[in-house]
Amino acid sequence: MNLVVNGDAETGPGGTDAPVTAVTGWRVAQGAPALVAYTFGGGYPGTGDPGPDRRGSRFFSGGNSPRTALVQDIALPASGATGHAAIDAGRVRYAVEAWLGGYATQEDGARLSVEFRDGKGTPVALSVLGPVTSGERGGRTGLVKRAAGALVPPGARTARLLLVLTRTGGGTSNDGYADGISLTLTGGSK
């Protein structure tokens, strides 16, 4: 089960390149994100551009800010096959994935990190995905899948997701894009 709320930009205001002040499930820590429809046009990724096979109707964009950052804090399950006891015994793995991209040959990009924290909020592990360069996209507008995974560190009780969309060139649009963000846990034997 995906633990991320609204990792696909489908919920809440949006649909155009106009910045929004709030994003369902996320805290806007910096900048002004936009939740752009794949049918919007104007050079943004469309339904025929590289991206998730099972994409919804929208994706995250950096809006018009040089740097846009969204944060989501996730409480890890307290019980069950992926609960605290299983985590502390080293029996829980995580998988984080996201589709990250940008516009044509520009180097605007998106980076997603997941930081596991203990009960006191101290970071105990970090995974970072992206950014995806223009070269990795073949100079095309679109999104590329990135994924990572490992054991959830013993003592971890929360996961903090940080999505950073960065404009590196000129212009007013921050063409860092993201979609299909997920964090899943699986339990098993040591």
Tens-place pLDDT, residues 48-64: 999 999 899 999 999 99
- Amino acid 189: pLDDT: 65
CA quadruple 27, 30, 34, 35: dihedral, nearest 10? -30
Contact 98, 183 (CB under 8 A): no
Residues of the chain with pLDDT under 70: 189-190
CA distance 139 to 37: 21
- Amino acid 190: pLDDT: 59
CA distances (Å), 12 to each of 20, 23, 34, 35, 183, in order?
A: 9, 6, 11, 9, 20
- Amino acid 150: pLDDT: 97
Q: Are strands 123-129 and 67-75 parallel, antiparallel or unpaired?
A: unpaired
Contact 78, 98 (CB under 8 A): no
- Amino acid 171: pLDDT: 79
Considering only CA atoms, which of 22, 17, 30 is closest in space to residue 6?
Answer: 22
Eight-state DSSP code of residue 77 = P
CA distance 146 to 181: 10
Residue 180 sits at the vertex; the CA angle it makes with 146 and 93, to the nearest 5 degrees, is 60
CA distance 163 to 146: 13
CA distance 175 to 61: 6
Q: Report the DSSP beta bridge partners of residue 71.
A: 27, 162
Helix (H, G, I), strand (E, B) or coil at 117: strand
Helix (H, G, I), strand (E, B) or coil at 38: coil
Which pLDDT tens digit goes with each residue over 161-175? 999 999 998 778 999
